[in-house]
Structure 1
Amino acid sequence: QPIIFQVSITNQNQWDEVLLTKGVLVIDVYQAWCGPCKAVVNLFRKLKNEFSEDDLLHFAVAEADSIVALKPFRNKCEPVFLFCVNGKIVSIVRGANAPLLTKKITELVEEERKVLAGEKERLELCTYFTVFTTFFHPFPTEGVRYSVAIIKPDAVLEGRVEEIKKKITDAGFSIAATEEKLLTEEQIRVFYTRKTEQPDFDDFVQFMMSGPCHILVIAKKETSKAIPHWKELSESSESELDLEPQKQDGLDDIVETGDLLNFCDVQDSIEDASRQLAFFFPNFGKQDTGQHVERTLALIRPLLLKERRDSIIQRIMDDGFKIAMQKEIVLSEEQVRQFYKEHENEDYFPVLLEQMTSGPTLALALTRVNAVEHWRKLLGPKTVEDAKKNDPTSLRAEYAVGSVPLDQLHGSSSPGDAQKELEFFFPQERTFALIKPDAVKEHKGDIMQKVKDAGFTISKIKEASLTREMAMQFYKDHEGKPFYESLVTCMTAGPSVVMVLSKENAVEEWRQLMGPTDPEIAKLTSPESIRAQFAQDILSNAVHGSSN
């Protein structure tokens, strides 16, 4: 029987006790549904034996789901290792990177030996309230790392913005861009996805909407591959952010503590930092040539959509646009009035209202260089009559429908309007997703990677085995059909991975990523879809998603 060398931590009390351990403590933070990282056990056992002479090196495993202090690390799909020295978390490594783990452990043990031998002074670290890790995204300038930070409304109202900026710059970071902005509820929920499980999250959302925030792009030049971490010292006359280089290669972490943590939040992963950088500062880092990649909204109204759908879509793509998102929707009268509220008093509004509610409208999120201006130029004059007379090659003239006086296409008038209109038709959504038992066994990692690559945020994740009763309820709509029993059997054959995914237009985007129900059809029509690549047959078709 092998000796158990990793202490198991399953609650907050045990966590507090283990942190009292003297020396270097390496903690494998794991999710309850997947357990500790087995890939590094032999490595850790080897290192434990190598450094056994002075009993300085210790190992533990901690279940993030049941420990309050580890909330920031819940629902992560990759291993996380915390490094503690005398009760203080000093570094974090993400991923089972054996060379990096070995290097980090060796350095910390050797440094602790020097401290105990009196050859080196121990650097005093402040106690912290909670830990946030920040990865700096290597974009858009080589040798510089970036992340997005939000200064909260209370700090803005108290006039502390410049003070906080100074603390950041005094630490050796620079502020590459800044913007004051009133955040919408959707933006707050996306930025703070990691906090959604906290009991007071709804109150927090309301607080963040209570006033303007300052959004910053924080940059750090690399003199080496190391990224320093920064810590907030206690409030005093000498209160400042100290900077201490880390010796590890690759992206490192920022440990925020004390006062700054209460007023400023920084995004905590490469994916999130990249997404928020693009979201709040879409043209950041691009050379100012006057040509910016933008998004704009295009609407194909019901009459044109019915008669010439394929033609207009082909024309859009021929003009260099990419269709980032699309949604076919039958608008209600209330929705039309809301979207066109600035036009309600115009003489043509009753005709517009009638046409917009007469059938499905196709909403498109178009992207290209200077998308807003280019799309409006293609559309031409605002009225069909004017377009036919003065710009007969414009889209409004070319795609006029019979004698109908109302033009059949819509385009955003400015980048600001484009953002608002895109949020109207493509709001941040959450959708239910499930990886079925047949795919969990062999393809879970590949499917999870496709989910991440598609830009989804995994708001919640859990591995669970469905009972027969649960599966029957799950597919209640198919009860009585010939394949019903086989479907229930497939769903109860082993554990499934259950997820809540967040993204703009998440429901439709997830359905597109899944592909057609029949994998044979998926291979022909959507070869890059999950079902085309990983499904066995029409019953064991890898994944499931909400239909609306």
Structure 2
Amino acid sequence: FQTVIATQDQWDEMLQIKGIVVIDVYRAWCGPCKAVMNLFRKLRIDFSDDNMLHFAVAEADSVETLKPFRRSCEPVFLFCVHGKILAMVKGVNAPLITKTVTELVQEEREIAAGEKERAEVLINQILMHKSHYFSPFSEVLTYSVGIIKPDDVLAGRVEEIKKKIRDAGFDIKAAEERMLTEEQIRVFYARNKDEPDFDAFVKFMMSGPCHVLIISKLEATDAIPQWKELHKTSESGEPEEPAKVPAVTETESLVNLCDVQDSVEDASRQLAFFFPNFHINAEHAERTLAIIRPTLLKERRDSIMQRIKDDGFQIAMQKEIILSEEQVRTFYSEHVNQDYFPALLEQMTSGPTLVLALTRENAVSHWRNLLGPKTLEKAKENPESLRAQYAFENIPINQLHGSSTLSDAQKELEFFFPEEQTLALIKPEAAKTHKDEIMNKVKEAGFNISKIKEQALTREMAAQIYKDHQGKPFFEELVNCMTEGPSVIMVLSKENAVEEWRNLMGPADPEEAKKTCPESIRAQFAHDILSNAVHGSSN
């Protein structure tokens, strides 16, 4: 029931099919995905009355259009509607595949019934949003996120565009091919939300993989990125002739290459949004410690966290803890003899505290300036300060802490986030199929691999690792999964290593991981809840 696509001509013929085509894109060495066959058969039966749902398999290695998927080591499913790729699912995510098919079928039913018009991705709508340029970076803005759109990716122009960016004197620090979510697109292009046809543009951006870049400019210049519309709609309503991508020189703008932010704050937010594990090494980038005290954390957590992100900070590390009296006295040792210390001690031990390592350019001074004066009386004279905005009438202690100097920040960060070591293990199935990809994610997350070896666990070793699960119904099956082949065993070192590794792994259930932590290892590489790619120490 699946049409076989093995050439570019067959792909072009597939685009002529009316209705919805679900395409399993595979590599020649692994073949089509067998795990979804029963699901596809069920969907075909469920929607047989509509006679609009079709299935195909396409070999990426022999279809030029599918060249961007030739490096993928996981199944990729494309959803084509009347010749346009409108959605993509990476990995065998049955709930998401079912949801996508159901929504597309429902939309086609509504269009057929005249209840809804088909959202066309017109060439002028694409040009409206792809014809921007950015000028060179200022001394302060060292990094920014850029996006190369789906049509350029599918046309195989990524390397050409990246070369032009480099030729213009910019550096590309990181690059990832991604299928952007609707949320990511709407956040990145938030400044364009009121433009005509913005919803159609969002749909276009979800039609295929994008290339997301971290772009840097090291030398100082006169301006930060500025978005410029190069193609305007004439009075007749027709778009002007699109400009060709020029050969870029050092003094020319980067025309029509990719979209970037237009401010330092936007750039910092988008770095955290798209590359949460990217560590800025620029001259002006700093880390500082921030503490959200118990009352504020309990009453207005979401508000203060959003404010931190809105002010351009990346959260490099975080830890929610209940401090002991001894810890408070040690951390605030220079304040112990002050009149206000008993109130500070009472507040700091009254419940969970959130400790953050914040990163951005000039992080220490920027955070201190946002906080305002330490005493509430003086802070209230500056109503725009965070300490004034997040004060509580019945509590005499301000609710936010920030390091005073770079040296203080280093000491305070070491107090809460000392360098730790943790055990990490890539389980047999993942070690066999995704070892290199997982190792890359470990390195990109900033871990040092202190020790590493490949070893097949004995049943005794596996039983010891999972002794807390002994006696549970799944215990024997778990032990079997852990002993079916060699595992990669590592000792990882990093500040806050235990918690950082657990965050990188994601939830134990890969289905939950896909929903809540889609960039985590388990979301991307786990097979099921037992064979869930990786293991880590819990404390």
Query: What TM-score range do you get, normalising by the shorter chain?
Result: 0.3 to 0.5
**TM-score of the pair, normalised by structure 1:** 0.47
